[in-house]
Amino acid sequence: MRDIEQITLNLSGYDQYSEVLIESAGTRIALSIYRSGDLSPCIVFIPGTMTHPLFYDDFLTLLAREGFNVAGIHPVSHGKSPREKKLYSFDDMLQNVRDTVTYCISNISENVIVMGSSQGGILCLAAACSDDRIKAAFPHNVLIPGLKNSISVTSFPKFLKPFNGALTSTMKLAAIIAPGLQVPVTFYLEFDRVTSSQSVHDLFYADPLGLTSYPLYFLSSLFSADLRKISDGSIKCPVVVIASTGDRLFSYDYCLEVYEKIAAPRKEMLVFNEPYHLIFNECPERIIGPVVQKLKEYE
């Protein structure tokens, strides 16, 4: 567990922690490296909306202590990555994942498992569709933007469900007119569904490396991301979807709907009976055992 000073300075509490910059998507991104051992598999970890790996430091430290190397991605212009690219897209972040996999294979381990939480879970599954080097994908939460029920994840009124396509088209047009317009997270997500913990809420908003808004250009690319390959056989690795029955943002029923559409050589769900969306943050000690046990089945 990080102490107050480490949290304030955005330092890891892990003793074999380091950081590196790599080239990706026409700019540079930072990676948080948690070393466990030269022969250990490597988990590429993709953080959620507007955050970075150190937001999940307790969980990633537990993974490293359980025998996994971890490479946490600070996506383009997020966290400790340089703010060199003002407009970035979902595809840029997907390229971040591919380039991190390349770095890990060359410098840490050829045995790479990709894991992501929330928005990172969406990227995790998208990466599995296009990168045959990945040994297994562990998305925490899954989403297909084109599904009508995907609106249930957002703060948009449910009566707009039949007009999901029109909403996406409108957002694309607005992004052409004002691509750099900053859209606060509360515009499209209800934050009390993300977390009811005051300490996590305070950490998110007080984090000097965190973001609280996205350029409209990125949001448009996220809401219009084409993830049809999830269902067409493009995924060549096993997929383990992590979900929580009490998740108020990504409902368990919605995750099941997406899970049924995933076509993979092997797939299963790892389900926790927890009343949280941010299970990696709010109850890491309770979930780490089953997560590690499942990871070891695929390493």
Please state, as a whole number, how many other Cβ atoms lie within 10 Å of the Cβ of residue 87: 15
Residue range 28-76, pLDDT digits in tens: 999 999 999 888 999 999 999 999 999 999 999 999 999 999 999 999 9
pLDDT at site 163: 65
Q: What are the structural domains, with CATH classification, of the chain? A: 4-144+226-298 (3.40.50.1820)
Question: In which residue are the tokens 């009566």 written?
Answer: 159
Question: In whole angstroms, what is the distance from residue 80 CA to residue 74 CA?
Answer: 6
Q: Is residue 101 left, alpha or beta, with left meaning phi > 0 and alpha meaning psi from -120 to 50?
A: alpha
DSSP state at residue 84: -
Q: Is 234 helix (H, G, I), strand (E, B) or coil?
A: coil
pLDDT at 235 over 90: yes
Helical packing angle, 90-107 and 119-130, nearest 10°: 70
Counting runs of H as helices and runs of E as strands, what totals does the chain give?
12, 10
What is the pLDDT confidence band of residue 94, given thresholds at 50, 70 and 90? very high
Query: CB neighbours (10 Å) of residue 209?
Result: 15
Q: Give kind and range of the element (H or E) at residue 80.
A: none
Which two structure tokens, joined as six digits, stand for 91? 């595809």
Residues 153-209: tens digit of each pLDDT? 988 877 667 767 778 899 899 999 999 999 999 988 998 999 989 988 888 988 999
pLDDT digits (tens, 9 = 90+) for 108-161: 999 999 999 999 999 999 999 999 999 999 999 999 988 889 989 988 877 667
Q: What is the pLDDT of residue 39?
A: 86
Six-digit token string for 103: 């770095």
**Tell me, what's the pLDDT at 4?**
65
pLDDT digits (tens, 9 = 90+) for 243-299: 999 999 999 999 999 999 999 999 999 999 999 999 999 999 999 999 999 999 998
CA-based R_g, the chain, Å: 18
Task: State the first-to-last Cα distance of the chain, in angstroms, to the nearest integer.
Answer: 26
